[in-house]
Amino acid sequence: MTATPVIQAKHLDLTFQTADGPVHALKDVSLDIPKGAFVSFIGPSGCGKTTFLRCMAALEHPTGGTLTVNGMTPDDARQARAYGYVFQAAGLYPWRTIGRNIALPLEIMGYSKAEQNKRIAKVLDLVELSGFEKKFPWQLSGGMQQRASIARALAFDADLLLMDEPFGALDEIVRDRLNEELLSLWAKTQKTIAFVTHSIPEAVYLSTHIVVMSPRPGRITDVIESPLPHERPLDIRDTPEFIEIAHRVREGLRAGYEDA
Amino acid sequence: MTRFIPPLVGVLLALFALWYIAVVPMNVQDTLTRAERAGVTVTPPSAVERRDTGALALVFGNTHALGESWSLDRPRLPAPHQVVAELYKSTVDEELNGRRGLARSGSLSTRGLLHHALITLNATALGFLIGTGLGILLAVGIVHSRVMEMSVMPWAIVSQTIPIVALAPMIIVVLYSVGVQGLLPKAVISAYLSFFPVVVGMVKGLRSPDSMQMDLMTTYSASTRDRLMKLRLPASTPYLFASLKIAIAASLVGAIVGELPVQKGGLGARMLAGSYYGQTAQIWAALIMAAALAAVLVWAIGAAERATLKRMGMAQ
């Protein structure tokens, strides 16, 4: 792997002050994410996985420790268009067509009209939504909407994709299909992906690295480097290797509970 | 749609029936006086005594003498057909056959209701534009500035607690003293009533994007301007139209109130003139014209709303 990690967190702390006293959302979190990795964050609610992702996006600010994105502070990295963010819900603007939704970041970032159209066509092709450019979001299924929101995050040239449970609201069949597509997208684009999930099979199937987290205080309990090959058909989930990693993730999650 | 027709007609008929019944006790004094003059015996026979008797008692004591209740010259409460006749006389008849009517003079008769409705409509439209513009500007300011929210919002609320009939003459006098008269003072009163629903609706609308949508804008490092133009304003469109429907009706009320003290035309002036001269049918005709105007205006906003939301892809 290359020398400088895309994400480098050292002894990261984040404490929210609430009416019931301080809540330790993150405590002493250290992690390096190498370039080109697919890292999943898994853990129960309140383990800080989303908070960690939001710190990378500079949507939250750590109260202690250091965090760099591409060697910069998260704020600077955001200014430098370092990442695309995909939320739990597609969050497409209902008054914009799919094409115009994807154009939204491009408009804000000042791309020319011609460049916008070129990029819209390119990312729609990547997420297999070509031909839906002129449709409004309500005319698309939930899975297609989420694909459009991934296209929106890919439209500008960020090398890092931050995804916060993007498939959490979808049914399992659609989710399987999107997982497969996401892997092929990752292979095609060579992006670094940080992916928050609740699902053990999803984490194991997608990731090169699985980060197991536990709550109160939010911390990392295990980092598993997956021995699975890059090329992963869906039936890899029935192999002994896959089941073994899933088992290790489950053990890590259980250990986190027993500590707390 | 057709299944709505029977209940609609039913309600309408019930209202008319109530109206016709109410006409009898409302006009009973006058009716009995005329009956007495025509030689019918009424009880009690003295006009002074009758004045001190309740309307219902008079009605039930003189059921034989109520024939003229619905055809008095100056009824306290005109019957529906009298109002319709007055409406016809002051619109169609006046314009077609009147000396100053459209047919003979080429312009709307100054004695006709249409002329006055148009005057009111002008003031309403201008007041609505001023009120809506002001309302949107204030809402944008309130959403972006905590100071403005705390300093403007209480005054906006207070402004609506003052009865407009008390305030309207003062606005007119003050504006007259600085040389402003005619359409503008009425429009100002109209705007005074219509800006408020726009402020309230737009503040809610501009704040309607959820935190995820705002976060998305943050991840693009979007400027305040981009957030306003690309997220807040489009998201507030349905709220705006809901407010505009209230605002246009309020504008009409404002314009009519603004016409009461000035007496230079308009439906408000017409209503007041009617009450000076005991022409209740004229008041009712003006009222119905105002109601019809309001209905058309609210409908027009609704049509604009449907067209806009359809164009924006927000109506399915």
pLDDT computed for residue A3 by the predictor? 60
A22 to chain B, minimum CA–CA distance in Å? 23
Q: What is the pLDDT of residues B30-67, one digit of tens each?
A: 899 888 888 888 888 888 888 888 888 888 888 888 88
Q: What's the average model confidence in pLDDT over B219-234?
A: 92
Q: What's the average model confidence in pLDDT over A227-247?
A: 83
In a domain, B212, yes or no: yes
Interface contact A94-B230, CB threshold 8 A: no
* Cα–Cα distance, A231 to A237 (Å, whole number): 12
pLDDT computed for residue A1 by the predictor? 44
Q: Is the CB of residue A83 less than 8 Å away from at least one CB of chain B?
A: yes
Q: What is the pLDDT of residues A167-204, one digit of tens each?
A: 887 888 888 888 888 888 888 888 899 999 988 888 88
Nearest CA in chain B to A74: B219
First to last CA, chain A: 34
User: Between β-strands A160-164 and A192-197, what pairing exists: parallel, antiparallel or unpaired?
Assistant: parallel
Interface contact B218-A59, CB threshold 8 A: yes
Chain A, window 116-145: residues with a beta carbon less than 8 angstroms from a chain B beta carbon: 136, 138
Question: Structural domain of residue B181, as residue ranges?
Answer: 113-312
In a domain, B52, yes or no: no
Nearest CA in chain B to A86: B216
Interface contact B237-A95, CB threshold 8 A: yes
* Cα–Cα distance, B310 to B306 (Å, whole number): 6
pLDDT computed for residue A259 by the predictor? 58
Question: Is the confidence at residue B256, as pLDDT, over 80?
Answer: yes
Question: Is the confidence at residue B289, as pLDDT, over 90?
Answer: yes
| Summary mean pLDDT of chain A | 86
A243 to chain B, minimum CA–CA distance in Å? 35
Q: Is the CB of residue B80 less than 8 Å away from at least one CB of chain A?
A: no
Interface contact A88-B213, CB threshold 8 A: no
Chain A residues with CB inside 8 Å of B237's CB?
Answer: 95
pLDDT band at B19 (very low <50, low <70, confident <90, very high): very high
In a domain, B145, yes or no: yes
pLDDT computed for residue A125 by the predictor? 87
Chain B residues with CB inside 8 Å of A93's CB?
Answer: 213, 231, 234-235
Question: Is the confidence at residue A70, as pLDDT, over 60?
Answer: yes
For residues B66 and B59, is the Cβ–Cβ distance under 8 A?
yes
In a domain, B24, yes or no: no
Q: Number of folded domains in chain B? A: 1
In a domain, B78, yes or no: no
In a domain, B101, yes or no: no
Q: What is the pLDDT of residues B120-178, one digit of tens each?
A: 999 999 999 999 999 999 999 999 999 999 999 899 999 889 888 888 989 889 998 99
Q: Which of A54-58, B3-7, B190-194 has the highest mean pLDDT?
A: B190-194
pLDDT computed for residue A258 by the predictor? 65
Q: Is the CB of residue B229 less than 8 Å away from at least one CB of chain A?
A: no
| Summary mean pLDDT of chain B | 90
Q: Is the CB of residue A108 less than 8 Å away from at least one CB of chain B?
A: yes
Question: Is the confidence at residue A166, as pLDDT, over 70?
Answer: yes
Q: Which pair of structure tokens corresponds to residue B276?
A: 């000076």
Question: Is the confidence at residue A24, as pLDDT, over 70?
Answer: yes
* Cα–Cα distance, A120 to B83 (Å, whole number): 64
State the CATH number of the domain containing residue B118: 1.10.3720.10
Query: Which of the pair, A28 or B192, is modelled with greater confidence?
Result: B192
Question: Is the confidence at residue B1, as pLDDT, over 80?
Answer: no
Query: Which of the pair, B167 or A3, is modelled with greater confidence?
Result: B167
Q: What's the average model confidence in pLDDT over A34-63?
A: 88
Q: Is the CB of residue A100 less than 8 Å away from at least one CB of chain B?
A: no
